[in-house]
Amino acid sequence: MKIAVLPGDGIGPEIVTQAVKVLEALRSDGLKIEMEYAHLGGAGYDAAGDPFPPATEKLALAADAVLLGAVGGYQYDTLPRPMRPEQGLLRIRKGLGLFANLRPAMVYPELVNASSLKPELVSGLDIMILRELTGDIYFGQPRGIRQLPNGERQGFDTMLYSESEIRRVAHVGFQIALKRNKKMCSVDKANVLDTSMFWREIVTEVAKEYPAVDLSHMYVDNAAMQLVRAPKQFDVILTGNIFGDILSDEASMLTGSIGMLPSASLDAHNKGLYEPCHGSAPDIAGKDIANPLATILSLAMMMRYTFVREDIAQRIENAVRKVLQQGMRTADIYEAGMQKVGCMAMGDAVVASL
């Protein structure tokens, strides 16, 4: 298992250190794990003047999987756009061909009160959001700001999806649905957007190859509403890049804390980049209060999807559950009566329960 480790910025190094402890524990149990470190985001800019330095690209391409903390920080906000940390993230996703972004939104029984919704709406919630990650309006050309003949300035972007892009992510969605409750809801805006009409047509075609999966379609505005009205109606949600960006953040709040949510971004051969859903949280960086569980749970996804070791994935997930059952909480998920612990202590507790 060749893993490229990219701590990144802000709380990235702290939370990645905890995940690395878990990998080291697994290695001492006999798993053949190799780890090598590189810079991404602001750390890449500081070290090499580039948010995705060539050395990082080389390491990431050679690895089986990439573990990332997070990127971004106030000190980089005034840099020209190509130098900003987020560009490093967009470029590594594109460079590795990571088109399928998996974001589970799960509510742990111990954290049901942390949700902003009523416990009965979210208790037992287990949704998988599959967001297409390398197409759509985030990458479509042309884009820019132009001057119209009448002198007024205009901003514009282009929403684009090619058939092959829709097909390959739809296949990933159906295959995930087959391993879960065999229900998939494809989310689009086909009542208004031609790109979405085409998306719906192709997803419906691919569905013929998966008769066991119950496919439905929903407009994105309704999906946003249903996610807070009755989220348990969903199993797998398949959607494009911009809708997925927004819906997956919305879904993350159903679970109470963004500090609990892992993610995987996969290529066509299950090589993947694994990272927590949250950002670099510069407001709490360096204080040993960040929640490392999303990053540790991202390792479980790595074991499941890239290394096809469901046994190890479950071992990590069970270890996390056990520390929650023991009452340990970082500040973001703390409730009265529980034991408040810092980032390092939480990492140590997971290793101990592993």
In this complex, which beta carbon is closest to ligand NAD, that of residue 71 or of residue 107?
A: 71
Q: Draw the binding track, 223-262, toward ligand NAD (x: CB under 6 A; -: no contact).
A: -----------------------------------xx---
User: Angle CA(214)–CA(220)–CA(224) in degrees, nearest 5?
Assistant: 100
Min dist. Cβ of residue 8 to ligand NAD (A): 6
Amino acid at 61: L
311 tagged catalytic: no
Partners of residue 275 on adjacent β-strands: 263
Distances (CA, A) of 8 to 77, 124, 173, 178, 246: 15, 33, 29, 35, 23
Min dist. Cβ of residue 340 to ligand NAD (A): 12
**Residue 280 lies near ligand NAD (rule: CB under 6 A):** yes
How far is Cα 265 from Cα 277, in angstroms, rounded to an integer?
A: 11
252 burial (CB, 10 Å; 0-12 / 13-18 / 19+) is buried
| 8 Å CB contact between 344 and 291 | no
How long, in residues, is the chain? 354
332 tagged catalytic: no
126 tagged catalytic: no
In this complex, which beta carbon is closest to ligand NAD, that of residue 140 or of residue 282?
A: 282
In this complex, which beta carbon is closest to ligand NAD, that of residue 56 or of residue 280?
A: 280
271 C-beta neighbours (distance < 10 Å), count: 19
Which of 32, 141, 147, 283 binds ligand NAD (CB under 6 A)? It is 283
29 tagged catalytic: no
221 tagged catalytic: yes
Min dist. Cβ of residue 103 to ligand NAD (A): 11
Q: Which residues bind ligand NAD (CB under 6 A)?
A: 11, 15, 70-73, 86, 89, 258-259, 275, 278-284, 290-291, 294, 332
Q: Which residues does the annotation mark as catalytic?
A: 138, 189, 221, 245, 249
